[in-house]
C-alpha cells in the first residue's frame, strides 16, 4: 500500500529552516523585524529561491513581487494547487507568523521528492508580498493584487513612512530576481491552502494540535484626523482652546464604550500621532487608527455607524475626518478544503477541531477566486506579533504533515475535483 505523503515530512528539517529564516531580520531579543520588500526580506527571499532550486522548483514572480516556486505536475496544463503564506513580519515580529506557512509548504515539496511521486497537478509554494501592512498599510497587497481584489496601480502607489512607494520597493526586489520570470496576474489556482500559527490561545487551551479554520472574522480599519489649533499651554484658557488631543480622547472613550457590547468585539486604537507633539503646546492635530473586528457582520456594521456618529459628535471646537482604509466582511472557507483538512488530520491520528480565525490572512483574498482553506497550529499563550511568539516543534511538524496530505489530495484531483468552487 502506498504511504501517505505526511510520512515523508521531516520535522527537524522544517524546524531548522524556520530557525535559519529567522536570522534574516533577527532582533536581539529573539524576535524578527523583516519589513515587506526590504533588503533583509529580499535576502530571505533569495534563500527561499535557493532552497526551491535545490529541489528543482521553478521560481516565478509577478508585478507586485509575490514569489512562487513551482513543482511541475504530470498534467501541467491543469491549474496548480497553491500553498504558502508570507515572509514579511511586524517590527516586533516572531519566528513563526507567515514563515511557518511558507516553510511548511516547502517541506511538502521535500516530502513529495522523498516519496518519488509526481502529483497530477502542479504545486506552487507561494510567499505573498506585504501581508503584515506594517511598512505599507494596509497589508495583504500581494494577495489582493493577485486575486484582483484591488487595482494594482492603487496598491503600488501606497507609501511607507519615508515616502517610498510599493512600486519603488517592489522594483528594487524584482531587480535582484535575475532569472526569475515574471508572470502576469489573471490565472486562477485550483485551490489555496495556508498553514499558520493560530495567534490566539484556543488550540493551546484545548490541547489540540490542528485547527480546521472555518472562516475569518470581519474587519474595518479607519484613520481619524482631528484638527484643532496650536496654542501656548500656559496662556490659553482651556475654554478657548481647540485641543485636538482632548477631542480625540472623547472620541476614543465613547467608541470604547459602544464596542464593549458584545464582549467579544475587538476594538483597538493602536496608533496615534500628535502634532506638534510638544509638552507645552496645545495639540494642533491628533491622528489615530481604529481597528474593529467581529465574527458577525451585523455587529461590525452597527459599531461602524456608531464610530461615524461619535467622530462627528465629539469633535467639539475642532474638525475631524474619518477614512475607512479597509473593510473585509466575515467569510467562510470552502467546505471541501475544510473536509480535506479534517480527513488528513484523522488519517494522521492528529486531534483537530474547527476554529474561527480572529486575524486576517492572505487566504481571505484567495477565497474570492478559488477554493481556499487554512490549517492552524497552536502558539504559546496565543502570542504573536511579538518576539516571544513560539510554536512547539511537534505542532510545527503536525501542521506540515496535515498540509502535505491535503495538498496531495487536492493535487491528485483532475478537472472535476480541486478546481470546483
Ligand atoms: Zn501571518
Binding residues: 86, 97, 132, 196, 385
pLDDT in tens, 192-212: 999 999 999 999 999 999 999
pLDDT in tens, 258-294: 999 999 999 999 999 999 999 999 999 999 999 999 9
From the CA of 198, how far away is ligand 1's center (Å)? Answer: 9
From the CA of 70, how far away is ligand 1's center (Å)? Answer: 22
Q: At what angle do helices 297-313 and 244-258 cross, to 10 degrees?
A: 150
Q: Quick count: other Cβ atoms within 10 Å of Cβ 42?
A: 19
Percentage of the chain lying above the pLDDT 70 cut: 98
pLDDT of residue 419: 45
From the CA of 100, how far away is ligand 1's center (Å)? Answer: 9
From the CA of 345, how far away is ligand 1's center (Å)? Answer: 22
From the CA of 414, how far away is ligand 1's center (Å)? Answer: 30
Per-residue pLDDT band at 2 (split at 50, 70, 90): low
Residue 316 pLDDT > 60: yes
pLDDT in tens, 228-245: 999 999 999 999 999 999
pLDDT of residue 89: 97
Q: Which residues contact 5 (CB under 8 A, 6 or more apart)?
A: 108, 111, 112, 115, 117, 404, 405, 407, 408
Residue 420 pLDDT > 60: no
Distance, CA of 412 to CA of 4 (rounded, Å):
13
From the CA of 78, how far away is ligand 1's center (Å)? Answer: 29
From the CA of 315, how far away is ligand 1's center (Å)? Answer: 36
From the CA of 387, how far away is ligand 1's center (Å)? Answer: 14
Instruction: Give the residue from 46, 47, 61, 93 showing the smallest Cα distance to 170.
Output: 61
CA-based angle 100:338:146, to the nearest 5?
Answer: 60
Percentage of the chain lying above the pLDDT 90 cut: 94
Binding residues for Zn(2+): 86, 97, 132, 196, 385
From the CA of 22, how far away is ligand 1's center (Å)? Answer: 14
Per-residue pLDDT band at 213 (split at 50, 70, 90): very high
Residue 1 pLDDT > 90: no
From the CA of 6, how far away is ligand 1's center (Å)? Answer: 23
From the CA of 361, how far away is ligand 1's center (Å)? Answer: 6
pLDDT of residue 416: 52
pLDDT in tens, 63-117: 999 999 999 999 999 999 999 999 999 999 999 999 999 999 999 999 999 999 9
Report the b/e string of 396-419 with b at 16+ CB within 10 A: bbbbbbbbbbbbbbbbebeeebbb
From the CA of 128, how far away is ligand 1's center (Å)? Answer: 10
- Average pLDDT on 397-412 reads 98
Surrounding ion ligand 1 within 5 Å at CB are 97-98
From the CA of 130, how far away is ligand 1's center (Å)? Answer: 10
Q: How many CA atoms lie within 13 A of 359 on its CB side?
A: 21
From the CA of 119, how far away is ligand 1's center (Å)? Answer: 28
Which CATH fold would you assign to the domain 5-217+331-411?
A: Aminopeptidase (3.40.630)
pLDDT of residue 414: 87
- Average pLDDT on 46-75 reads 98
CA 293 to chain centre: 15
pLDDT of residue 257: 97
- Residue 50, helix vs strand vs coil: helix
From the CA of 283, how far away is ligand 1's center (Å)? Answer: 36
Distance, CA of 166 to CA of 13 (rounded, Å):
33
CA 343 to chain centre: 25
Residue 307 pLDDT > 90: yes
Q: Does domain 218-328 have CATH number 3.40.50.20?
A: no
From the CA of 213, how far away is ligand 1's center (Å)? Answer: 14
Could you write out the DSSP letters of every residue in 223-245?
EEEEE---EETTTS-GGG---HH
From the CA of 98, how far away is ligand 1's center (Å)? Answer: 4
pLDDT of residue 347: 96
Q: Where are the domains of the chain?
A: 5-217+331-411, 218-328
Per-residue pLDDT band at 143 (split at 50, 70, 90): very high
- Average pLDDT on 288-309 reads 96
From the CA of 309, how far away is ligand 1's center (Å)? Answer: 33
pLDDT in tens, 149-179: 999 999 999 999 999 999 999 999 999 998 9
Question: What integer best gives the mean pLDDT of the chain?
Answer: 96
Per-residue pLDDT band at 328 (split at 50, 70, 90): confident
Residue that has been written with the C-alpha cell 497589508 in this structure = 139
Amino acid at each position: 500500500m502506498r504511504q501517505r505523503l505526511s510520512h515523508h515530512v521531516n520535522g527537524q528539517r522544517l524546524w531548522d529552516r524556520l530557525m535559519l529564516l529567522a536570522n534574516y531580520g533577527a532582533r536581539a531579543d529573539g524576535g524578527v523585524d523583516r519589513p515587506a520588500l526590504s533588503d533583509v526580506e529580499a535576502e530571505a527571499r533569495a534563500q527561499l529561491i535557493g532552497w526551491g532550486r535545490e529541489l528543482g522548483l521553478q521560481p516565478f514572480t509577478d508585478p507586485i513581487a509575490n514569489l512562487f516556486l513551482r513543482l511541475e505536475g504530470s498534467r501541467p496544463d491543469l491549474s496548480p494547487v497553491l500553498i504558502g503564506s508570507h515572509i514579511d513580519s511586524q517590527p516586533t515580529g516572531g519566528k513563526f507568523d507567515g514563515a511557518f506557512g511558507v516553510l511548511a509548504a516547502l517541506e511538502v515539496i521535500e516530502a513529495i521528492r522523498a516519496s518519488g511521486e509526481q502529483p497530477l497537478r502542479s504545486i506552487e509554494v507561494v510567499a505573498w508580498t506585504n501581508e503584515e501592512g506594517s511598512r505599507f498599510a494596509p497589508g495583504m497587497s500581494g494577495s489582493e493584487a493577485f486575486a484582483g481584489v484591488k487595482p494594482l496601480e492603487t496598491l503600488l502607489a501606497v507609501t511607507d513612512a519615508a515616502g517610498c512607494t510599493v512600486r519603488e520597493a517592489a522594483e528594487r526586489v524584482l531587480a535582484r530576481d535575475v532569472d526569475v520570470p515574471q508572470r502576469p496576474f489573471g490565472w486562477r489556482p485550483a485551490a489555496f491552502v495556508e498553514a499558520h500559527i493560530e495567534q490566539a490561545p484556543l488550540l493551546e487551551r484545548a490541547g489540540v494540535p490542528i485547527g480546521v479554520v472555518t472562516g475569518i472574522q470581519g474587519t474595518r480599519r479607519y484613520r481619524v484626523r482631528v484638527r484643532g489649533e496650536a496654542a501656548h499651554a500656559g496662556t490659553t484658557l482651556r475654554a478657548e482652546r481647540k485641543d485636538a488631543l482632548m477631542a480625540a480622547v472623547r472620541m476614543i472613550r465613547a467608541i470604547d464604550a459602544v464596542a464593549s457590547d458584545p464582549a467579544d468585539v475587538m476594538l483597538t486604537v493602536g496608533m496615534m500621532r500628535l502634532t506638534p507633539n510638544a509638552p507645552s503646546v496645545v495639540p494642533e492635530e491628533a491622528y489615530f487608527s481604529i481597528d474593529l473586528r467581529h465574527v458577525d457582520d451585523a455587529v461590525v456594521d452597527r459599531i461602524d455607524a456608531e464610530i461615524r456618529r461619535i467622530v462627528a459628535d465629539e469633535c467639539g471646537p475642532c474638525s475631524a475626518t474619518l477614512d475607512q482604509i479597509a473593510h473585509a466582511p466575515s467569510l467562510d472557507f470552502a467546505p471541501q478544503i475544510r473536509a480535506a483538512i479534517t480527513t488528513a488530520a484523522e488519517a494522521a491520528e492528529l486531534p483537530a477541531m474547527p476554529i474561527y480565525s480572529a486575524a486576517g490572512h492572505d487566504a481571505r483574498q484567495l477565497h474570492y477566486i478559488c477554493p481556499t482553506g487554512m490549517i492552524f497550529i497552536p502558539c504559546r499563550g496565543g502570542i504573536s506579533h511579538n518576539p516571544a511568539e513560539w510554536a512547539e516543534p511537534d505542532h510545527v511538524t503536525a501542521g506540515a504533515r496535515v498540509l502535505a496530505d491535503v495538498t496531495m489530495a487536492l493535487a491528485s484531483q483532475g478537472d472535476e475535483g480541486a478546481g470546483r468552487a
